[in-house]
Structures are given as C-alpha cells and as structure tokens.
Structure 1
C-alpha cells in the first residue's frame, strides 16, 4: 500500500453502526433525552456545591471535579454521534477527531483519579477526625485537585503527542467516535512505542488510583470494626458506600467494553455500542448514586426543592 500522509486538516470518515429503517429519529430523540438528563443531573450537583455554603467543605470541593469530568465525557462523545445519526454525514476533521479522543481519554483517567482523591479525603475524615481540619486545608485541597487534573493531563498528553507525529495512510475511523486505538489504526508507521506508552499510562492510572482507594477503604474498614462510635460508622456508610458504588459502576462498564473487543463472535455494532456505554452510564448514574447515598447532599437538594415549591 502506498504511504500517504494526510494533512492536519484532512477529513476523516467515521464507521456508523447499523440503524434499522425508521429507527433514526427514535434513537436520536432517545439520545437527546439521555444527554439532557445526564447534563441536568451533573449540573444540579455542581450548582448545589457551588451555591450552598453548608457544602463548602474539602470533601465537596474535591467532589466538584466528578460532575465536571462527567460533563466532559458525555459532551465530548454523544452530541457528535447523534448529529451523525441525523445528518448521515459521519465525517470529522482530523483536529476535531484528536480533540474528541483526547477529551474522552481525559475523562476515563479522570474518573479513577477523582475517586482516589475522594477516598483519601474520607480516610482522613474517618481515621484521623481530630487532624482532619489541619490535614485537609484549603491549600491541601487545591494541591489534590491540581494533582488529579494535572497528572491526568500529562499522561494523556504524552500519549497523543506521540500519536500526532506518525504519518497516516488511512482515513476511515472504525468507530462511531474518535479514540486513541482508532486513530492509531490510521497510521502507517511503527506504533510499538505508542502501544508501550499506552499500556504504561493505563497501568499507572489503574495502579495509582486503585492502590490509593484500596489503602483508604481498608483503613476505614479497620477503623469501623475497632471503633464503637455509631456516628463514625454511619459517616463511613453515608459517603464510602457511594464512592465504592461509583468505582464498581465504572470498572464493570469498562471491563465489559474491553471484553467486547476481545471476543471475535461479538459484532462490530455491539462493540461500538459497548464503547459508548462507558461515556453514558457513569455520567448519568454518578450524581444520582452520590446524591442518594450522601445524606448532606440529599437533604440540601430536598430543602432547595421545598423552598422553590413554597415560593
């Protein structure tokens, strides 16, 4: 095959999944409903934390990153997919494709780093309650949030900086959205370094985030077993259960997505749909789960709704 390097502004073609006759607009309106619901839930959580002074605590300042990250994930993926379904163009310029892929990978790493930061905060609050205010200072919270976003950005940036240096000889993305593996398949150069860096970054994200969470929750569990204080145990249940549920949701969806690409008998359309779920299910469920399990957020929201209805 002749090696051709397409220009930076070249147009790429996305490979759509099969839509049965008459199904275009029902799928489109269902997607719009899902998107609006996800955005509304995350915006509600963001607004509550920003406007309600009783939530101006280290725990909730760190939590702010979660709905923000979810908005990035669902917005980077779904509107483009829905637009392509209606217009049937399935075209994207290379810079926009790279931007979409970059944001989606930032979202994936961000979820795990944010949950790790939240688990550390709960570890300090439950295992070292007398030192909480001295450990989780404003400066410490800013440093934690900066590390979460900064470390995630550096890992993903290093991956994509290697991506853009390779010549391209194909112009069809074998997916309904852009991601790093799909972009890598467009290249005609040696991708060994990219694969190694990709695996290394994935390992770092998983190992760092899961290790922090495992350590935090083991320490919290030990504290709950040892202590006789009912208040301490309820604090752990109210917040830690929510965070564990969020982690399980993300990891289960991610695992099913990865497995769908490993079995040859899984259709290409199902693989594409499974790939979309990781950017749909967590952003929709995260604010709901956290709101239900965290009494302070739940009570604040109910009070705000009650005041609005009374008004």
Structure 2
C-alpha cells in the first residue's frame, strides 16, 4: 500500500526535446541567459537602493519587476537545465514539489501584470497630475501599491491551485517543461469544469484588468501630451512611457501565445518553445530595457564601468 501511495505522488515531466548534439549548446545558452538575468536584475536593484537620487517612486517600483524576474527565472531555468541531461523516463518530480512550482510560476506571471499596472498608475500621476505627484506617490503609497500587486497575485493563484489539488489523479505525466495549473488538473479523470471556469475567469480578470487599465492610462497620457505645448515635457513623457509600454506589449504577446497554445495539445512542442521565450527571454529583456533606456540609471552604470576601467589602468 505504501509503495502504491509513493508511486501516485511521483510525476513524470516530458521536458524539452533536445538532441544529444544540441544539448550542450542549448544548456550553455540557457545558463548564460540565466546568469545575465540574475546579474542585471539584482545589479539594478542594488544600484537603485544604493543611489539616493534614485530613491523615487518610479525607480522603486522598477525594483518590483526586477525582483519578480529573478524569482521567475530561478523557479524555472535551473529546473530546465537539470532536465536537459536526464533521460525522458527519469524526469521525476514529487507531486507537492510540482504544486509548489506551479504556484510560484503562476505568481510570477500574475505579478508581472499587477506590477506593470501599478507602474502605469505611477506614470499617469506623474504626467497628468505633476503638481500633486509628490503628495500622492509617497513612500507609503509605493509600499501599499507594491504589497497590493504581490498580495493580489498570491490570492488569485492560491484559489487557482486550491481548486486543483482537491482533485484525485489517474495520470502521472506532466506534458510540459515544468509544472503549471493546466498540467496538474489534466492529471485528473474527474470533471474539471470548475477548474476550467475559474481558470478562464482568472485569465480574463488578470489580462482584462491589465489591458483596460494600461490602455485607459495611456489614452489619458496621450490626451495630456497632445494638449501640452511643452516639447521637453512631452519628450520626457514619451521616453518613460515607451519603456513601460514596450515591456508590457512583449509580456502581453507572450501571455496570449501561451494561453492559446494550451488549448491545442498537439502543439505541445510549440508551447514549450513559446514558454521558454516568455519565461526566460523576457526577464533578460526587461533588465536591458529598463537599465539602458533610463538615462539616470544608464549614466550610473557607465560611471561604474568607467571607474573600474580607470582603476585597472592606474594599477
């Protein structure tokens, strides 16, 4: 009986289909991307917290995105790297570990949207109500918005996974690179109608509120910029908003592709590639977009490299 219970709790991951010849190049590339994500995002956070001039709401909100990207990459990439050199029949994972991983994966995805929503609110206040910006976007407000972004994601995902773990299981194979909610409830032979309804509602609420709030925010910002005759103000607004909008559009496209491909089991290999791009490439791009497109941060990074270069030449 104990052996049967143990076998029920052990799941098998399909993993990424990589040929022996391409496994080493793929492993090396993925490892380098992971190192870049960690160094760039953590470096950005450290730089912001150590520089007094960057202790502003906009930059402190950026830290949420960087921390979330590090969190998401750490949940996924080491696991995928490990499985590259393990045969398909030996990619085991315990059921509870799978649930925890699925929870973290969905928290990462949900927080990506909620954080971008509060960042859009910050840009709206800065451009549409510049005289009241300092009184609205206080340190306390930044903390409240950050906590709200993370707590909202935790609650939505906790309900999502709570509905899934109540189901009994009759299958053991996870048809994905890592565990997620759709893969977990597909293990059950029971009716998953409630899971599908909540999952659809969760997706609609998250993406719907995200798209509508960001769209409304930028429409109001565009209206203010069109009425304003100050070219310098408009240029600064365009620069800061373009950075945020580029990250948001990339995230949105990735989310829609993954959601759509989940509806077509025959395209599981395509979904895995799309997932890798969405969960690995986006965190790397975010650091580049925010780190290099923001003038103050770019100047600080260049100053650090120049000081190191000068120190090496002096030595």
* Structure 1 and Structure 2 fold alike (TM over 0.5): yes
Distance 1:9 1:291 in 2: 46
- Matched-pair contact (CA < 8 Å) for 1:102–1:160: yes
Name which of structure 1's ranges 300-309 and 197-206 shifts more when overlaid on structure 2.
Answer: 300-309
- Matched-pair contact (CA < 8 Å) for 2:8–2:172: no
Distance 2:104 2:307 in 1: 37
Question: CA 1:109–1:85 in 2, change beyond 3 Å: closer, same or farther?
Answer: same
What are the ranges of 5 or more consecutive residues in structure 1 without an aligned counterpart?
none
Distance 2:25 2:187 in 1: 32
Distance 1:259 1:160 in 2: 20
- Matched-pair contact (CA < 8 Å) for 1:6–1:169: no
Distance 1:173 1:308 in 2: 48
Residues 17-68 of structure 1 deviation map (CA, whole Å, 9 limit, x = unaligned): 3322322222212211121112222112111111111110111111110011
Aligned to 2:104: 103
What TM-score results when the alignment is normalised by the length of structure 2? 0.91
Aligned to 1:305: 305
Could you say what secondary structure the match of 1:280 adopts? helix
Name which of structure 1's ranges 199-208 and 145-154 shifts more when overlaid on structure 2.
Answer: 199-208
Aligned to 1:17: 16
Aligned residues, how many?
306
Distance 2:112 2:264 in 1: 26
Aligned to 2:182: 181
Alpha-carbon RMSD across the aligned residues, in angstroms, is 1.9
Question: CA 1:43–1:9 in 2, change beyond 3 Å: closer, same or farther?
Answer: farther
What TM-score results when the alignment is normalised by the length of structure 1? 0.93
Residues 60-116 of structure 1 deviation map (CA, whole Å, 9 limit, x = unaligned): 111110011111111111111110112333111111111111111111111111111
Q: CA deviation at 1:293?
A: 2.2
Greater helix proportion: 2
Aligned to 1:68: 67
- Matched-pair contact (CA < 8 Å) for 1:168–1:188: yes
Aligned to 1:141: 142
Residues 146-170 of structure 1 deviation map (CA, whole Å, 9 limit, x = unaligned): 1100111100011111111111111
- Matched-pair contact (CA < 8 Å) for 2:61–2:142: yes
Alignment of 1:25-36 (within 5 A): 25-36=24-35
What are the ranges of 5 or more consecutive residues in structure 2 without an aligned counterpart?
none
Distance 1:77 1:271 in 2: 15
Q: CA deviation at 1:280?
A: 1.0
Q: CA deviation at 1:270?
A: 2.4
Could you say what secondary structure the match of 1:187 adopts? coil
Residues 277-302 of structure 1 deviation map (CA, whole Å, 9 limit, x = unaligned): 21012101011012232212212221
- Matched-pair contact (CA < 8 Å) for 1:12–1:93: yes
Could you say what secondary structure the match of 2:303 adopts? helix
- Matched-pair contact (CA < 8 Å) for 2:16–2:84: no
Distance 2:156 2:259 in 1: 20
